[in-house]
Amino acid sequence: MSKRDFYEVLGVAKTASEKEIKKAYKKLAMKFHPDKNPDDPTAADKFKEVKAAYEILMDKEKRTAYDQFGHNAFENPGMGGGRGGQQGFGQQAGYGDFEDMFGGAFGDMFSNARGGQGGFGGRHSTRPQKGEDLQYTMEIDLEDAISGASRVIDLPVFEGRTQTNKKLNIKIPAGIEEGGRIRLSGKGHPGINGGPQGDVYIQMNIRPHPRYTREGNNLLCKATTDFVTAALGGKVEVNTLGGAISLKIPEGTQTGRKFRLKEKGVTDRKGNTGDLIVQLIIETPLNLSDRQKELLNEFAAA
């Protein structure tokens, strides 16, 4: 192995922190990983060099000795003596630590790329892993989100390692929110090494409604009335999801005033029910007759 300065190997300053050393090691280890460089016969040696530098500089005692004596500090009995000496690639001090740092998924990625054969010392990855999940987006109407509904969709699903398109019955729960997800267990990609199959997540996108806007469990809508009813008081018909109701308007009501109808909103999946909030809009009459204009002038004069 080359006797290059370990700090130079990792590309860090001698004052580098552990965090900086670890970051540099991760970057170089991925760059020189032999399984990512099958056509580069020097990749394994470069990886070993990076690994050796990392092991020394991340150990406080070894780093102190290296700073004082350089490579001579580890000539005997061998570099990394505290761990039983420097191990061959694929043994305890090699691939195993690399896998621990980057996680089993990273190691298995390389292993799978070579037909399940670990690239170091003939090591095989045998840990079961769950298959990848699938994502699907479904657009629904607000009424379906509030009341619940059933839908049939065509979705690519997996049976073992065979992909087929199947019609799946989807039950949309009442009260589901925008972006809410439904999980279909075991319908995703096949597992690895006997691991469980992944899941399918169906995300709900709710189409805009011409009358209602949803905010949490509350529904917002607008109702119109004429200025006479607003001035003298009266009743306004409001359409709710459960049918039309009569809303009492007190005299002197101004445009934009909001009225809250308790528990006329959305009941979510936990059983909490919101309100219907009605904003009153006072309409200005158009195309008045001469008599109507006369009466308005008399009203203004009074």
| Domain stop point among 173, 188, 206 | 206
Q: Do 173 and 197 belong to one domain?
A: yes
- The predicted structure's pLDDT at residue 116: 45
CATH code for the domain of 34: 1.10.287.110
Q: Do 201 and 218 belong to one domain?
A: no
For 246, the domain range is 213-283
pLDDT 10s digits, 228-251: 999 999 999 998 888 899 999 999
Tokens of 74: 């580890």
**What's the whole-number average pLDDT of the chain?**
81
Residue 158 confidence class, pLDDT cut points 50, 70, 90: low
Between 271 and 35, the higher pLDDT residue: 271
**Structural domain total, the chain:** 3
Query: Around Cβ 26, how many Cβ atoms within 10 Å?
Result: 15
Q: What is the pTM of this model?
A: 0.53
C-alpha span between 244 and 54 (Å, rounded)? 73
pLDDT 10s digits, 43-99: 888 888 989 889 999 998 889 888 887 887 776 544 443 333 343 333 333 444 444
Listed in sequence order, the residues at least 6 apart from 40 whose beta carbon sits closer than 8 Å to its beta carbon are 34
Q: Do 246 and 222 belong to one domain?
A: yes
pLDDT 10s digits, 184-197: 998 888 888 889 98
Please indicate, yes or no, if residue 294 is contained in any of the structural domains.
Answer: no
Indicate whether 120 pLDDT > 90. Answer: no
CA atoms within 13 A on the CB side of 223: 28
pLDDT > 70 in the chain, percent:
81
- Using CA atoms, how far residue 146 sits from 95, 183, 210, 264, in Å, is 53, 19, 15, 11
Q: Do 67 and 103 belong to one domain?
A: yes
